[in-house]
Amino acid sequence: MVKVGFYQGCCFQGQDAHMFETMKEMFKRIDVDVVLLEETTCCGGNTIDEENRKLSYAINARNIALAEREGLDMLVSCNTCYMVIAKAKRALDTNKKLRDEINELLKEEGLEYKGTSRIYHLLDFFRDVVGYEKIKQAVKRPLKGWKVVAYYGCHVLYPKEIAVDNSDNPSSLQEILKALGAEVIDDYEGKDACCGYHSFFTDKSMTLKKLNRILGGVKKVGADIVATPCPLCFKSFDIYQTNMENPPRVPSSFLPEIMAYAFGIDKDKSGLSHHLIKVEKE
Amino acid sequence: METAILQVFRYDPEKDQAPYYKEYEVPVEGTLLNALLYIKDNLDPTLAFRAFCRSEVCGSCSMKVNGKTKLACKTPMKELVETWKGKPLRIEPLNHMKVIKDLVVDIDKPIEKMKTLIPWLVPDPRVVPTDPMHESIIYPEEMEAYKDQIHCMLCFSCYSACEAVADNERYRGPFAFSKAYRFQVDRRDIETAKEKRIRYAISGGLWSCVQCQKCIHVCPKGVRPAEDIQNLRGQAVKKGFTDKPGAKKLKHFVDWIYATGQINRLYLPEEVYGNKEAREKLTKAYTEMGVEVWEVPKPTKGLMKFRDIYLEILSKEDKALDLDYSHVRKIDKMVSDIFKADICTIVDKAHEEGRSSRGLISKLKGLLGGQ
């Protein structure tokens, strides 16, 4: 049993609190014990950086320090949380002055950033720690006949210093989906486009154009569903898609949901039945 | 000798009806630019591309390989063959610019766009001596603020890879914002010019950037436009340009994270767009699905100390007044109205009861006597 600290961010609390339970149950099937890092806060969503970068570094030094206190590596599911935390870690590891200054503040809570915990995203955790073979063995309900589009999202591939896969030609997501027994489609118009999530509250028209690009491309290749390891990309596809003028009504899935379903967890518990755009495929 | 197939985009608007691709077999040796020069010298002298310094200084040889922006003189052929696992390499001109011939594009448009952001120094006479015999000293510590931005060599890699340029014609381009930012943090530049740059940046799409990070990724010189754009957004808000949705989003993040340790996605639509319906719609949808709706995030253990750290950093950076304390008090009140307890009590209770998050909020309300 591998034990890892799970960083929840904003995506596994509130309305999405049930997602952590899906995640925990899914990980149990592949012998991973995910421990919720309860005292962590929002990573700042790459928005606090607009206010002040040092504040973003401090928040995330605290988040990482909480994993270090437990002696655990940190697993992050959200692409943006992953990028923001990984960038903070790089800054803290390479800038002693910054680290010392922030540690001075963390002292108050009895915390210290040491740089001992590794930060994983779902994709490299599945590839490097769990292994594709183990995923394959856990499958109870192979996704036979499911045509699944692999959508990575930006913040696991860019910028290169924090990328978890080959940024230009990544393969981990396809490998995971293949292990689930799905037919994987990784070449479609709009596959490199941003999901538009982050511009919904800065320039909404941009989000809708992005969705049009990606989901239009997905529709054209006749896929059943889009699978993404990022809960924000998923929200853009599932929730913001309903804001489009003529929504193509393309169903989507957050990767752990579709994995849970393939591992034999039912549709309700896997979260697949909680989507605004229904997943009809059985 | 190991070879690779390049499928090169060919188009001469004066002769060709439409673009086409021509295949060339080239040695896997040196850089992509070496391969293109090999074609020109040995296989086809009609191929047009820009290249000059061959050493990552002039920024002329930027192009796309299988859709990904690369500076040809910086990209080893071996790396390309490994990345694409022996697949043919499709070489194309940059995006978002008119093709003049083959791989040569017209860069006038992005240059014109850049100029609208005043990418030059407007000297402040109080700082810069008007007498040319006097030096205008810049100290190394000052240079720190823009030491990367000055390396931009106008290769347009970021402009080609940019997600905002792709869907907003007016968007000035990542490099243009970096060029502008470089003067925003220059002590010698006059305040009125800084104000103007922000105004022009906003009308040039400052809030349209999607923060995909591709510009940082593709820049051959280590410039980080997406981060400069974040800095410019921060400056815009600080200078009082707070009417744009993006500025309101930033305020939501700054205040809610301080107050609760989390943002509140349920309230974002009304705090940014004044759209109350969205919250009602989402609440209804979640309730129908049997998902518990949390009006406020679960307050994090250690919240008060977290607030301390947060405020301390803001104070040190001279930004403590950026927190809207009346908004924070409203959030506190909202939390205590829901739970009928003050935030410290809720934090403790939430932590005691918080092992399972399913049904947590109603459990807490029950325990504390809330609605």
Q: Which of A21, A154, A196 sits opposite B358 (nearest CB)?
A: A21
Q: Which of B83, B208, B231 sits opposite A199 (nearest CB)?
A: B208
Kindly report the CATH number assigned to the domain that includes residue A148. Answer: 3.40.50.11810
Residues A173 and A254 in one domain: yes
User: pTM, whole model, 2 decimals?
Assistant: 0.95
In this prediction, residue B355 has a pLDDT band, given cuts at 50, 70 and 90, of low
Looking at chain A, which residue has its C-alpha nearest residue B80? A168
Give just the sign of the alpha carbon dihedral A122, A126, A132, A134: negative
- In chain B, what residues touch A18 (CB-CB under 8 Å)? 291, 357-358
pLDDT of B207 strictly over 80: yes
The pLDDT score that the predictor gives to residue B353 is 64
Residues near B47 by Cβ (< 8 Å), separated by ≥ 6?
A: B8, B10, B36, B39, B40, B102, B103
Parent domain of A55: 2-122
Structural tokens at position B44: 């086809």
Where exactly are the structural domains of chain B? 3-105, 108-238, 245-368
Burial (Cβ within 10 Å: 0-12, 13-18, ≥19) of residue B103? buried
A119 at B interface, C-beta within 8 A: no
Q: Which CATH number fits domain B3-105: 3.10.20.30, 3.90.180.10, 3.40.50.720, 3.40.718.10?
A: 3.10.20.30
The pLDDT score that the predictor gives to residue B202 is 98
Of A64, A88, A122, the position where a domain reaches its end is A122
pLDDT in tens, B62-94: 999 999 999 999 999 999 999 999 899 999 999
* Interface contact B261-A42, CB threshold 8 A: yes
Residues A155 and A263 in one domain: yes
Residue % of chain B over a pLDDT of 90? 78
Residues A175 and A253 in one domain: yes
- In chain B, what residues touch A15 (CB-CB under 8 Å)? 265-266, 282, 286, 291-294
A182 vs B271: CA distance, rounded Å: 41
Burial (Cβ within 10 Å: 0-12, 13-18, ≥19) of residue A199? buried
The pLDDT score that the predictor gives to residue B369 is 60
CATH number of B108-238: 1.10.1060.10
Looking at chain B, which residue has its C-alpha nearest residue A11? B265
- In chain B, what residues touch A62 (CB-CB under 8 Å)? 306, 309
* Interface contact A45-B356, CB threshold 8 A: no
A244 at B interface, C-beta within 8 A: no
pLDDT of B140 strictly over 80: yes
DSSP state of B97: S
Residues near A192 by Cβ (< 8 Å), separated by ≥ 6?
A: B67
Taking residues B213-218, what's their average pLDDT? 98
pLDDT in tens, A9-26: 988 877 777 888 899 999
pLDDT in tens, B230-264: 999 999 999 999 999 999 999 999 999 999 999 99
CA distance to partner chain A, nearest, from residue B52 (Å): 26
Average pLDDT, chain A: 95
A276 at B interface, C-beta within 8 A: yes
Q: What angle do CA A263, A268, A271 make, to 5 degrees?
A: 75
Whats the size of chain A, residue-wise?
282
Of A58, A89, A122, the position where a domain reaches its end is A122
* Interface contact A202-B208, CB threshold 8 A: yes
Residue B187's alpha-carbon distances to B40, B181, B317, in angstroms, are: 48, 12, 18
Taking residues A88-116, what's their average pLDDT? 97
By C-alpha distance, which of B177, B145, B180 is closest to B159? Answer: B177
Taking residues A211-223, what's their average pLDDT? 95
B110 vs B108: CA distance, rounded Å: 6
Ranges A8-22, B105-119, B346-360: which has the least confidence: B346-360
Q: What angle do CA B119, B120, B125 make, to 5 degrees?
A: 140
Classify residue A130: in a domain, yes or no: no
Q: Please spell the DSSP secondary structure of B294-353, one letter per residue.
A: -SSPPPPTTHHHHHHHHHHHHHHTT-GGGS-HHHHHHHHHHHHHHHTS-HHHHHHHHHHH
Structural tokens at position B75: 């990209």
Kindly report the CATH number assigned to the domain that includes residue A110. Answer: 1.20.1050.140
CB of A109 within 8 A of CB of A70?
A: no
Number of domains in chain A: 2
Average pLDDT, chain B: 92
Residues A63 and A178 in one domain: no
CA distance to partner chain B, nearest, from residue A168 (Å): 7
Residues A229 and A171 in one domain: yes
CA distance to partner chain B, nearest, from residue A145 (Å): 27
Residues A108 and A80 in one domain: yes
Residues A155 and A74 in one domain: no
The pLDDT score that the predictor gives to residue A124 is 98
A112 vs A56: CA distance, rounded Å: 16
Classify residue A206: in a domain, yes or no: yes
Q: Which of A17, A194, A273 sits opposite B163 (nearest CB)?
A: A194
To which residue do tokens 């022996």 refer? B86
CA distance to partner chain A, nearest, from residue B81 (Å): 11
pLDDT in tens, A232-246: 999 999 999 999 999
Number of other CB atoms surrounding residue A161 within 10 Å: 10
Classify residue A280: in a domain, yes or no: no
pLDDT of B229 strictly over 90: yes
* Interface contact B317-A196, CB threshold 8 A: no
Residue % of chain A over a pLDDT of 90? 91
- In chain B, what residues touch A202 (CB-CB under 8 Å)? 207-209, 244-246, 249
CA distance to partner chain B, nearest, from residue A274 (Å): 6
A83 vs A43: CA distance, rounded Å: 10
Residues A150 and A240 in one domain: yes
Classify residue A129: in a domain, yes or no: no
| H-helix or E-strand spanning residue B231 | helix B225-238
pLDDT in tens, B14-28: 999 999 999 999 999
A147 vs A174: CA distance, rounded Å: 12
pLDDT of A274 strictly over 90: no
Q: Which of B85, B212, B252 sits opposite A194 (nearest CB)?
A: B212
CA distance to partner chain A, nearest, from residue B198 (Å): 14
Q: Which of B273, B322, B358 sits opposite A18 (nearest CB)?
A: B358
Distance of CA B41 to the CA centre of its chain: 40
pLDDT of A93 strictly over 80: yes
Classify residue A134: in a domain, yes or no: no
Residues A144 and A56 in one domain: no
Q: Which of A44, A106, A193 sits opposite B257 (nearest CB)?
A: A44
pLDDT of B350 strictly over 90: no
Residues A153 and A45 in one domain: no
Q: What angle do CA B342, B343, B344 make, to 5 degrees?
A: 95
Looking at chain A, which residue has its C-alpha nearest residue B318? A52
pLDDT of B354 strictly over 80: no
Residues A177 and A214 in one domain: yes
Whats the size of chain B, residue-wise?
371
A168 at B interface, C-beta within 8 A: yes
pLDDT of A277 strictly over 90: yes
A123 vs A228: CA distance, rounded Å: 10
The pLDDT score that the predictor gives to residue A13 is 79
- In chain B, what residues touch A52 (CB-CB under 8 Å)? 234, 313-314, 317, 319
ipTM: 0.96
Classify residue A247: in a domain, yes or no: yes
* Interface contact B245-A58, CB threshold 8 A: no
pLDDT of B368 strictly over 70: no
The pLDDT score that the predictor gives to residue A21 is 87
* Interface contact B246-A273, CB threshold 8 A: no
Burial (Cβ within 10 Å: 0-12, 13-18, ≥19) of residue A181? middle
CB of B249 within 8 A of CB of A201?
A: yes
Q: Which of A21, A42, A274 sits opposite B257 (nearest CB)?
A: A42
Residues A103 and A149 in one domain: no
